[in-house]
């Protein structure tokens, strides 16, 4: 008998609506792991104490969500290469007594994307320049994407992301300001929504695109996990595009975190089913 389970969890504020705990614990149960995942509400002024507390209690690692993805870095001992480029951490792993920051958001996205297309040499149109978009852009570039057009509502953030890709990866990038009825340029292989548009409860919000320029065969991916069938996904499907919803990214980033913590390659199907169940999808 072992009554001492290995602890992992999440530090965020707010924390109550984050379904990650259900998905991760379903994987732990499925794989017979004596591990637990504790969803913790941590205010910014308590983050340092929470990280020290996790070390004191022997946690194997933790996730960080808003608003801690940037500020947690000062409490860590090192960063994985892609987290360093992205400049944000969503997963922390205890390795040889050191807290190492990783970013599994973009890796989870790339893993899902590779299930439907190749990335090498592709031209990508990426909507958004926030935390998710940064992670997605960097991992796409590291996975061999040729060119990324970053489209964003506010110019400085979009320009900064294009600059990051140009200076820190082998891909090229440009910023295109988001104007009404934005067209998708010919030759674009992958279109991605990494903005908050379409997220529950504003489920009817739409990207301001010229929908006639969405060509059949284009891969269209949405980072929005809830609801998974966003306006973008539904419209792209009607136009004959290959679609990828945000649930896959959410499941994969969790599965990659589990692998980093436990060494076990978690069953994505089990995790996706549990997520869909708790979200009522």
**Which residues are bridge partners to 10 per DSSP?**
39, 63
What is the rounded distance in angstroms from the CA atom of residue 42 to the CA atom of residue 15?
Answer: 8
Judge whether 92 and 99 are in contact, CB under 8 Å. yes
If binding is defined by CB under 6 A, does position 253 make contact with ligand NDP?
yes
Can you tell me which of 246, 257, 271, 272 binds ligand NDP, judged by CB under 6 A?
246
What is the rounded distance in angstroms from the CA atom of residue 196 to the CA atom of residue 49?
Answer: 31
Residues 152-191 that bind ligand NDP (CB under 6 A): 152-154, 157
CB of 118 to ligand NDP, least distance (A): 21
- Return the structure tokens found at 196: 């908050």
If binding is defined by CB under 6 A, does position 227 make contact with ligand NDP?
no
What is the rounded distance in angstroms from the CA atom of residue 192 to the CA atom of residue 233?
Answer: 10
* Residue whose CB is nearest to ligand NDP in the complex, by number: 130
Judge whether 277 and 29 are in contact, CB under 8 Å. no
Q: Where are the alpha helices (DSSP H) in the chain?
A: 20-30, 47-56, 81-86, 105-114, 131-142, 155-168, 231-238, 246-262, 268-279
If binding is defined by CB under 6 A, does position 132 make contact with ligand NDP?
yes
Judge whether 141 and 163 are in contact, CB under 8 Å. no
Q: Which of the residues 69, 134, 147, 231 is marked catalytic?
A: 69
Of 196 and 238, the one with the shorter C-beta distance to ligand NDP is: 196
CB of 152 to ligand NDP, least distance (A): 5
Can you tell me which of 73, 89, 250, 256 binds ligand NDP, judged by CB under 6 A?
250
If binding is defined by CB under 6 A, does position 61 make contact with ligand NDP?
no
Give the dihedral sign, CA 100/104/105/107. positive
Listed ranges 51-59, 73-81, 219-227, 269-277: which one lies at the site for ligand NDP (CB under 6 A): 219-227
Can you tell me which of 105, 111, 139, 274 binds ligand NDP, judged by CB under 6 A?
105
Going from the C-alpha of 263 to that of each of 33, 59, 121, 151, 258, the distances in angstroms are 11, 15, 31, 37, 7
If binding is defined by CB under 6 A, does position 225 make contact with ligand NDP?
yes
Can you tell me which of 86, 143, 173, 197 binds ligand NDP, judged by CB under 6 A?
197
CB of 230 to ligand NDP, least distance (A): 10
If binding is defined by CB under 6 A, does position 133 make contact with ligand NDP?
yes
Residue (of 83, 59, 64) closest to 20 by Cα position: 64
Can you tell me which of 130, 211, 235, 276 binds ligand NDP, judged by CB under 6 A?
130
Residues that bind ligand NDP (CB under 6 A): 105, 108, 128-133, 152-154, 157, 194-197, 199, 223-225, 246, 249-250, 253
Active site residues: 69
């Amino acid at each position: 008998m072992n009554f001492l389970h290995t602890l992992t969890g999440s530090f965020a504020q707010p924390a109550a609506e984050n379904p990650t705990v259900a998905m991760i614990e379903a994987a732990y149960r499925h794989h017979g792991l004596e591990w637990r995942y504790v969803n913790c509400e941590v205010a910014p002024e308590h983050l340092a104490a929470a990280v020290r507390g996790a070390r004191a209690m022997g946690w194997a690692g933790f996730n960080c969500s808003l608003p801690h993805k940037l500020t947690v870095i000062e409490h860590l001992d090192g960063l994985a290469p892609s987290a360093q480029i992205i400049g944000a951490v969503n997963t922390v792993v205890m390795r040889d007594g050191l807290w190492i920051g990783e970013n599994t958001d973009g890796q989870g996205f790339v893993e899902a994307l590779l299930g439907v297309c190749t990335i090498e040499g592709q031209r990508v149109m990426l909507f958004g320049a926030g935390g998710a978009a940064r992670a997605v852009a960097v991992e796409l570039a590291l996975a061999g994407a040729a060119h990324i057009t970053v489209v964003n509502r506010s110019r400085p953030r979009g320009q900064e992301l294009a600059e990051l890709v140009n200076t820190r990866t082998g891909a090229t990038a440009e910023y295109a300001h988001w104007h009404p009825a934005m067209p998708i340029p010919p030759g674009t292989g992958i279109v991605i929504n990494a903005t908050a548009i379409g997220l529950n409860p504003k489920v009817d919000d739409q990207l301001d695109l010229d929908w006639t320029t969405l060509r059949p065969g284009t891969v269209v991916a949405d980072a929005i996990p809830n609801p998974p069938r966003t306006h973008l996904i539904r419209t792209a499907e009607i136009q004959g595009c290959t679609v990828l919803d945000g649930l896959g990214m959410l499941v994969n980033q969790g599965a990659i975190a589990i692998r980093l913590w436990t060494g076990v390659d978690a069953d994505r199907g089990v995790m996706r089913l549990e997520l869909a169940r708790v979200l009522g999808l």
